């Protein structure tokens, strides 16, 4: 099976993956860093509030002690105690908020570290010298598994799907290009390997086939080897080869002819000699034509019977018949029945 | 004695003596004489149509002249025989 390395331009593909994926990593890293900074700032603000409350409480406690030492009235003591209790309550809230902010800060730091870790792992995987596309996708999947941030994980999944589509497009394009290249390869016949027997099979010198001029094609004085009729067809009468009758081995200077031979790839372009069907109606019987006799004055012989010798002798010795007979035979003209 | 001497009965009810018969060019020719009219002498060609024998006139004068010459020689021979 053909490896991905042979199909894909990995450098180009890897470069694209690095750009898109790392950009996502950087964006998420910046987002995490911004959130972390905001949490830290908020935490710092809460810390300042906490300090202020602690100072306020400290001040209330000191005021409370002064009131007690100066024999203040119970109402004044109750009022101070109320303020102190309120300050402590606020202080408790601030403390809780600080704890929450610190927790969130820790989470943000951890997320940021995870992003950085995933990015570094991803870069490390992509820069691996023997990584192919499948491996890259595997690493992306691993990066997705490592990533805890749902948004970042969705981004990585989208990147993975986009790369899979890109792979399909690239592979289809490469296959199409490969197919085109393969189709463009023309296998030229090596005439030097043709043996004489093969040539004799192709060129039937002793056959009575006549060269069909209809199949002659003017193609830059090339000789067309008509594989249907098994004879070479020359398009120029001056280039016709004088073919001896009995010695096929020396019939043709193969080097000079085959250098100009063009073998047709398909039979579609070969014009075959036409064969006209013989119509029986077109046949004309030679010599005897009975219809001609029908137009002549013919007389049917009913029967024949032998002539008695005595009668024959009388005829051939008759002084009356024989002169007429000789007269007829000496005349040039004929007579009608 | 020649055995080809016969009387021909034609479909027109006329009868002819067949005095001589020769084969010329693959075709048979007769020298005939009317039984009832001795001056009615002619040379005809015999043809075969549907297994029936017919005689027709010869229109080719050259052929007719050639045939007359041959028939005359044959008549001369028979004349000598019947002397």
> Can you give the three-state secondary structure of chain B, one letter per residue?
CCCCCEEEEECCCCEEEEEEEEEECCEEEEEEEECCCCCCEEEEEEEEECCEEEEEECCCHHHHHHHHHHHHHHHHHHHHHCC
Q: What is the pLDDT of residues A255-278, one digit of tens each?
A: 444 444 444 444 555 454 455 554
Q: How many other CB atoms are there within 10 angstroms of residue B14's CB atom?
A: 16
Question: What residue segments make up the domains of chain A, in order of their start?
Answer: 4-184, 191-269, 292-330
A300 and B54 within 8 Å at the Cβ level: the answer is yes
Q: Which residues of A touch B82 (CB under 8 A)?
A: 312-313, 316-317
Q: Which backbone phi and psi does A270 adopt, to 5 degrees?
A: -90, 125
**Residue (of A263, A66, B23) closest to B31 by Cα position:** B23
Q: Which backbone phi and psi does A71 adopt, to 5 degrees?
A: 55, 50
Question: What residue segments make up the domains of chain B, in order of their start?
Answer: 6-81
B61 and A333 within 8 Å at the Cβ level: the answer is yes
B42 and A301 within 8 Å at the Cβ level: the answer is no
Assessment of whether the complete model's pTM goes beyond 0.90? no
pLDDT of B29 above 90 = yes
pLDDT of A332 above 60 = no
B82 and A317 within 8 Å at the Cβ level: the answer is yes
pLDDT band at residue B33 under the 50/70/90 scheme: very high
A281 versus B71: the higher-pLDDT residue is B71
Q: What is the ipTM of this complex?
A: 0.90
A310 touches B: beta carbon within 8 Å? no
B58 touches A: beta carbon within 8 Å? yes
B66 touches A: beta carbon within 8 Å? no
pLDDT mean over A70-91: 81
Q: What is the pLDDT of residues B38-73, one digit of tens each?
A: 889 999 999 988 888 999 998 888 999 999 999 999
The span from the CA of A17 to the CA of A161, in Å, is 12
**CATH number of the domain located at residue range(s) A4-184 in this protein:** 1.10.287
B40 and A305 within 8 Å at the Cβ level: the answer is no
DSSP bridge pairs for A193: none
A267 touches B: beta carbon within 8 Å? no
The span from the CA of A309 to the CA of A239, in Å, is 80
């Amino acid at each position: 099976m053909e490896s991905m390395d042979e199909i894909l331009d990995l450098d180009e593909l890897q470069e694209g993956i690095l750009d898109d994926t790392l950009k996502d990593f950087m964006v998420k890293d910046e987002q995490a860093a911004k959130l972390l900074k905001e949490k830290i700032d908020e935490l710092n603000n809460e810390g300042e509030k906490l300090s202020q409350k602690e100072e306020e409480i400290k001040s209330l406690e000191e005021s409370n002690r002064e009131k007690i030492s100066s024999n203040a009235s119970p109402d004044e003591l109750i009022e101070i105690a109320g303020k102190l209790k309120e300050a402590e309550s606020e202080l408790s809230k601030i403390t809780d908020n600080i704890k929450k902010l610190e927790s969130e800060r820790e989470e943000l730091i951890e997320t940021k570290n995870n992003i950085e870790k995933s990015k570094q792992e991803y870069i490390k995987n992509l820069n691996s010298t023997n990584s192919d596309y499948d491996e890259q996708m595997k690493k992306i999947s691993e990066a997705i598994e490592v990533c805890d941030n749902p948004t970042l994980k969705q981004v990585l999944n989208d990147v993975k799907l986009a790369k899979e589509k890109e792979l399909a497009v690239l592979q289809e394009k490469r296959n199409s290009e490969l197919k085109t290249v393969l189709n463009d390869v023309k296998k030229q016949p090596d005439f030097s390997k043709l043996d004489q027997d093969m040539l004799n099979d192709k060129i039937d010198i002793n056959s009575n086939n006549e060269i069909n001029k209809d199949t002659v094609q003017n193609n830059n004085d090339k000789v067309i080897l008509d594989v249907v009729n098994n004879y070479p067809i020359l398009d120029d009468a001056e280039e016709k080869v004088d073919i001896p009758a009995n010695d096929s081995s020396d019939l043709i200077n193969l080097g000079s002819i085959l250098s100009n031979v063009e073998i047709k790839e398909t039979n579609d372009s070969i014009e075959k000699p036409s064969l006209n069907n013989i119509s029986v109606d077109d046949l004309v019987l030679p010599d005897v034509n009975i219809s001609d006799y029908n137009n002549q004055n013919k007389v049917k012989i009913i029967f024949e019977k032998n002539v008695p010798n005595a009668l024959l002798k009388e005829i051939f010795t008759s002084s009356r018949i024989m002169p007429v007979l000789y007269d007829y035979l000496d005349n040039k003209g004929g007579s009608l029945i | 004695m020649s055995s080809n001497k016969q009387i021909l009965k034609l479909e027109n009810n006329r009868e002819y003596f067949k005095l001589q018969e020769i084969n010329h060019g693959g075709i048979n020719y007769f020298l005939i004489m009317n039984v009832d009219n001795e001056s009615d002498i002619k040379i005809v060609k015999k043809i075969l149509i549907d297994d029936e024998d017919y005689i027709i006139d010869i229109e080719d004068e050259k052929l007719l002249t050639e045939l007359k010459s041959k028939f005359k020689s044959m008549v001369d021979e028979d004349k000598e025989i019947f002397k």
